[in-house]
Amino acid sequence: MKKGLYIVISLILALSACSVDSNKKGDTGAEVKTPRQVHKIIYGIVIDSLSVDTGVIKKNEFLSDILLKHGVDYGTIDKLVRTSKKVFDVRKIKRGNRYIFISQNDSVKKPLYFVYEINRSDYVLYHLTDSIYVEKGKKNIEYKEKAFKGTIKSSLWNAVRDAGVEGYMANKLSDVYAWTIDFFALKKGDKFKVIYDKVYIDGKPVASGKIKASLFRHQGHDYYAFYFVQNGEGDYFDEEGNSLERTFLKAPLKYSRISSRFTESRYHPVLKIRRPHHGVDYAAPEGTPVHSVGDGVIIKKGYQRRGGGNYLKIKHNGTYTTSYMHLRAFAKGMKVGKHVKQGELIGYVGHTGLATGPHLDFRFYIHGRPVDPLKVKSPPAKPVDKKNRPEFDSLVRSYMQVLDTIRF
């Protein structure tokens, strides 16, 4: 990137020189005007008089295949591969990614540069001239705040798409309000306004980014959300500075030890085979109380003879679900559809199902996918710090004014 920066600086100086020269007097005393030249630059390279060819990595195609096809000799390829080891592993070149050849614009078309795009923003630049070397670069990324609004007619996804925004923004919006709004209970006529970052690379829009502020009107009640960074961490807060998230308990019981961890391959002590274990086993005495790690609704309750024995599954919101297995018994009143509070007693440790001793098999799911409970970052429930309130209040006032201009 330094080389590209030097080129840009040189161009600025050259343009400045042109500006100065344009004010000089000729022999006749008339003022001479020199038109400014605008150069086309990609990857930090001026390509005004060069040829540019693009391609896409094909199945089972390697760097050497591509370079040879474009006239790069074996010696240069060997030196490039050895030089690039510390910069980029050529074995990580992926099918479907784009590459660019920049060559002399003549009959020979001698290649001068080869560019491999790692992703939309990052690339590797191979210098193929006398001073052969490799460097990583990053395209110019810009973030511009945009806004959209919508009304629920059938689903949040459809409402977001009807607003002309990518459907995945519905997932982002549901994550923001995961603890506040039950998105499985949305009503026709619910509305939303959203301010978000639009991502531009080299001046072209490529994706929708973080939600910065929003208002969701659900069943007649207005729910605000504002993204604010404090102490190096970003979180969503309401207009009063309260966190929109709730904290999970670190563990659902008082346990003796962890007897088994989350793994893709564990030797099952009963079945005598290796298979995934997507939970954490907390060893504890028979009858130890088990509590829900967060507010939620019981969605499953039953017995798995060849698995988890007595078990409960609790849906906390549209994002998080937890499961409690091998229970000796359920707490009184536990049934499907019951709302439970964080810390509420739901059952007792046992060894029902396929278990060699008393323990709780605790499982954690994010969007239905099992994750390691010990690695889940418990969402912070702290409000905005007092020292940060002036900055936060200023941000809220600013976004409130913009949201007010967006009419439903």
Per-residue pLDDT of 363-397, as tens digits, reads: 999 999 999 988 887 666 789 999 999 999 999 99
Number of domains in the chain: 4
Instruction: Encode burial over 116-144: b for 16+ CB neighbours within 10 A, e otherwise.
Output: bbbeeeebbbbbbeeebebbebebeeeee
Listed residue (216, 208, 146) closest to 186, CA to CA:
216
Report yes or no on 30 lying in a domain. Answer: yes
Secondary structure element (H or E) that encloses residue 400, with its range? helix 389-405
What is the distance between the alpha carbons of residues 353 and 325, in angstroms, rounded to a whole number?
Answer: 9
Question: What is the pLDDT, as a whole number, of residue 248?
Answer: 86
Per-residue pLDDT of 296-310, as tens digits, reads: 999 999 998 778 899
Question: What is the pLDDT, as a whole number, of residue 140?
Answer: 87
- 216 with 302, same domain: the answer is no
Q: What is the DSSP string of 283-318?
A: E--TT-EEE-SSSEEEEEEEEETTTTEEEEEEE-SS
- 369 with 261, same domain: the answer is yes
More confident residue, 122 or 277: 122
**Window from 60-69, 195-204, 249-258 with minimum mean pLDDT:** 249-258
Per-residue pLDDT of 142-177, as tens digits, reads: 999 999 999 999 999 999 999 999 999 998 998 898
Look at residue 18 and give its three-state secondary structure.
Answer: helix
Indicate which CATH number applies to the domain containing 205.
Answer: 3.10.450.350
- 44 with 105, same domain: the answer is yes
What letter would DSSP give residue 332? T
What is the distance between the alpha carbons of residues 404 and 408, in angstroms, rounded to a whole number?
Answer: 10
Report yes or no on 6 lying in a domain. Answer: yes
Structure tokens at 181: 């709004």
Q: Report the relative pairing of strands 280-283 and 257-260 from DSSP bridges.
A: antiparallel
Rounded to the nearest 5 degrees, what angle is found at the Cα of 135, between the Cα atoms of 125 and 68? 45
Residue span of the structural domain in which 154 resides: 142-237
Is the pTM of the predicted complex or chain greater than 0.85?
A: no
Is the model's pLDDT at 9 over the cut of 60? no
Structure confidence at residue 39 as a pLDDT band (50, 70, 90): confident
- 31 with 44, same domain: the answer is no
Listed residue (42, 50, 82) closest to 64, CA to CA:
82
Place of tokens 């193929």: 128
Is the model's pLDDT at 271 over the cut of 90? no
- 121 with 202, same domain: the answer is no
- 275 with 371, same domain: the answer is yes
Question: What is the pLDDT, as a whole number, of residue 275?
Answer: 60
Listed residue (126, 129, 139, 147) closest to 64, CA to CA:
126
Report yes or no on 336 lying in a domain. Answer: yes
Place of tokens 């907390």: 282
Report yes or no on 311 lying in a domain. Answer: yes
What letter would DSSP give residue 31? B
- 293 with 342, same domain: the answer is yes
Report yes or no on 17 lying in a domain. Answer: yes
Report yes or no on 390 lying in a domain. Answer: no
- 124 with 153, same domain: the answer is no
- 264 with 358, same domain: the answer is yes
- 267 with 159, same domain: the answer is no
Spatial neighbors of 254 by CB under 8 A, at least 6 apart, are: 284, 288, 289
- 25 with 101, same domain: the answer is no
Report yes or no on 63 lying in a domain. Answer: yes
Q: Distance from CA of residue 126 to its chain's centroid?
A: 29
- 12 with 103, same domain: the answer is no
Report yes or no on 3 lying in a domain. Answer: yes
Structure tokens at 404: 């007010």
**Window from 70-84, 215-229, 361-375, 386-400 with minimum mean pLDDT:** 70-84
What is the distance between the alpha carbons of residues 80 and 70, in angstroms, rounded to a whole number?
Answer: 15
Indicate which CATH number applies to the domain containing 293.
Answer: 2.70.70.10
